[in-house]
Structure 1
Amino acid sequence: MEAVKRRRVRGDGVDLAVHEQGDRANPTVLLVHGYPDTHAVWDEVAERLAARFHVVRYDVRGAGASSRPFGAKHYAFEHLMADMRAVLDAAAPGRAVHLVGHDWGSIQGWEAVCTMPDRFASFTSISGPCLDHVAHWTRRSLGRPTPRGLRRAAAQGVRSWYIYFFQTPLLPEALWRAGFSRAFTRALEAGEGVPARAGHPARTLPRDGAAGVGLYRANMAARLRRPLDRRTGVPTQVIVPTRDLFVSPHLVGGLAERVPNLSLRTVRAGHWVPRSHPDAVARWIAEHAAGTTGGPLTAAGSRSLRRARVARDRRPFEGSLVVVTGAGGGIGRATALAFAGRGAEIVAADLDLAAARRTAELAGRAGPAGHAVRVDVGDAQAMEDFAKAVLHDHGVPDVVVNNAGIGMAGAFLDHTADDWRRILDVNLWGVLHGSRLFAAQMIERGQGGHLVNVASA
């Protein structure tokens, strides 16, 4: 594990506990935690990133080993942004960094990429929406109500119960100090499968929870009542945990209107996904950062041009594994080559192994090395073996294209029962086998995926 270096940085009237690991010559990733966490919620992710990046974390004001000013006014965005600038100036002076935020760290991140975009090469948001966008989304859902929009708005209202509770004077702080932290720790393990470990939840949790209530009181009501029309050109990746009990996945609706360089990742996980799925989170941060730059700051215009060029040049399926059945020719081969040309690693499956090998060879010329497999999609056991082999040799696919199909020509009465049985085995059961087996792998991995079923005459 990379050694962690600790130091104090003077923020906006507070002392901030800053933690760094990895080679400072590498691109910098700044990880910002949420409420009621400390920098330690990122331990597993930071360890995975430190081999390739200079990783910086800090306890935000009110948390961990940083100062705890008294009074909600000290937790307003203007002070949070001044603190972040101080950390950036100390840990990555003159460099554009890759910003990652979770929960309130992500809410702060949205504010940062909208108000000082030239400090950031990329932004990854996890379970913390832009407050301005939430307000606009809610007004759109209620302004032109539809049954679905009203249900979604009501569901988010239920998820946000604690926001209203935190506006209550004194009571939230009293509960944290009276022992609510123990209930929080138990709920985290029971509800999200995230067991307590050294550093998280922090020993300072009662004080952190009480102080951090100021984040909600200083910013929530004012921003939700009078939202700004915020936009950012920073390349932004939003990781959406589909089982988040606090942030509805539907809040990303309409976000592309305000974030033109936007990508979305879904993961079958709860709110504390940096703890429950650190491998996926670290990999996605690294992949997103790889599509941008994290070098010296330049003029805003040239930075925008460089970002646009990098985003254009980066192939959209780089790092993805794509399985295509019936890949020996026709639509299957064309599909496999299209994915390969966009950076995907291809597993070409076909009953004709020689044809599959030719497709894999062509795919390797356009992208990463391709792989050929002979399989009869109408054979249930063969498909079981195929799915297991793909998992063992290459991992869980991100996309599976069930394309294999057959047809028969001639008069209706000229075809035997075996002919019809074979058509059903390939064209119906082949799709069911591919969907069922690979969907199970995708669900088990917990990072989502895509099944594409092709029918053609």
Structure 2
Amino acid sequence: MLESRKIIITGAGSGIGKAIVKECLRHQASVIACDINEQSLNDLKKQLTNRNDALHTYQLDVSNYKEVSNFFEYIKANHSDVESLVNNAGIYLAKSILDYPVDEIDDVLDINVKGYIYFSQLFARLMFRQQREGVITNITSVSGMEGSSDAIYGSSKAAILGLTKSCAMNFSPLIRVNAVLPTMGFSN
């Protein structure tokens, strides 16, 4: 089902994003992997040398609108056939709301919410301009529904649930928008 698809994945250098990249490549998709950490992207490319023709990397800060805008100029010039976006970039600081300084509140909300908004907006503009169907998958968390001991993180993930529903309404029928809500795994 992913064969021959071209997919943008944010937060692709580690964790869930890295796993999504590997799975997409395993299913013969092409991936544009984005991350703020250039070294993580270089390591990813080295690990996946057998699929380097299908893996493209791009270093950027998802919370910086100018960088995201420049990225979509790159996409228009080099990957205009992209058809899917996985919004995954995020941070979790594991703090009580009582311990958050204002700059860290801003960091979490800028990355976990604004990054998704920026990518969704610019991806949708590209699809609408080209009158092509597309897919957006937002990686959020059960913390967005159930709450979290890190209230700022939980709030950011709740915002993504709302963003997903609103974008689905705004972008229908051209772009399908869904959310995936992972949880922390527990083992005995």
Which TM-score applies when normalising by structure 2?
0.70
CA distance in 2, matches of 1:332, 1:321: 15
Match of 1:446 in 2: 131
CA distance in 2, matches of 1:423, 1:394: 29
CA distance in 2, matches of 1:364, 1:433: 30
CA distance in 2, matches of 1:361, 1:323: 19
Match of 2:70 in 1: 385
CA distance in 1, matches of 2:140, 2:120: 14
Note the 1:7-22 alignment, pairs <5 A.
none
CA distance in 2, matches of 1:362, 1:450: 27
1:345 pairs with 2, 26, 30, which one?
A: 30
2:83 pairs with 398, 405, 410, which one?
A: 398
**Other structure's SS at 1:322 match:** strand
1:197-240 deviation line (CA, Å, top 9, x unaligned): xxxxxxxxxxxxxxxxxxxxxxxxxxxxxxxxxxxxxxxxxxxx
Say whether the 8 Å CA contact 1:321–1:397 is kept in structure 2: yes
CA distance in 2, matches of 1:390, 1:364: 22
2:108 pairs with 412, 415, 423, which one?
A: 423
Note the 1:238-277 alignment, pairs <5 A.
none
Instruction: Give the count of matched residue pairs.
Output: 142
1:60-88 deviation line (CA, Å, top 9, x unaligned): xxxxxxxxxxxxxxxxxxxxxxxxxxxxx
CA distance in 1, matches of 2:48, 2:102: 38
Q: 1:397 is aligned with what amino acid? A: V
Match of 1:260 in 2: none
**Gap runs ≥5 in structure 1:** 1-315
Note the 1:357-368 alignment, pairs <5 A.
357-366=42-51, 368=53
Say whether the 8 Å CA contact 1:361–1:370 is kept in structure 2: no
1:48-67 deviation line (CA, Å, top 9, x unaligned): xxxxxxxxxxxxxxxxxxxx
CA distance in 2, matches of 1:369, 1:361: 13
Offset at 1:444? 1.4
1:6-36 deviation line (CA, Å, top 9, x unaligned): xxxxxxxxxxxxxxxxxxxxxxxxxxxxxxx
Instruction: Determine which structure has greater relative contact order: mean sequence separation of CA pairs < 8 Å that are 6+ residues apart, divided by chain length.
Output: 2
CA distance in 2, matches of 1:453, 1:364: 27
Say whether the 8 Å CA contact 2:17–2:89 is kept in structure 1: yes
Say whether the 8 Å CA contact 2:45–2:52 is kept in structure 1: no
Note the 1:91-106 alignment, pairs <5 A.
none
CA distance in 2, matches of 1:341, 1:361: 16
Note the 1:18-417 alignment, pairs <5 A.
316-366=1-51, 368-417=53-102
CA distance in 1, matches of 2:45, 2:95: 33
State the identity %. Answer: 28
1:128-158 deviation line (CA, Å, top 9, x unaligned): xxxxxxxxxxxxxxxxxxxxxxxxxxxxxxx
CA distance in 1, matches of 2:129, 2:85: 15
Which TM-score applies when normalising by structure 1?
0.30
CA distance in 2, matches of 1:361, 1:344: 18
CA RMSD of aligned residues (A): 1.7
Q: 1:454 is aligned with what amino acid? A: I
1:432 pairs with 114, 117, 122, which one?
A: 117
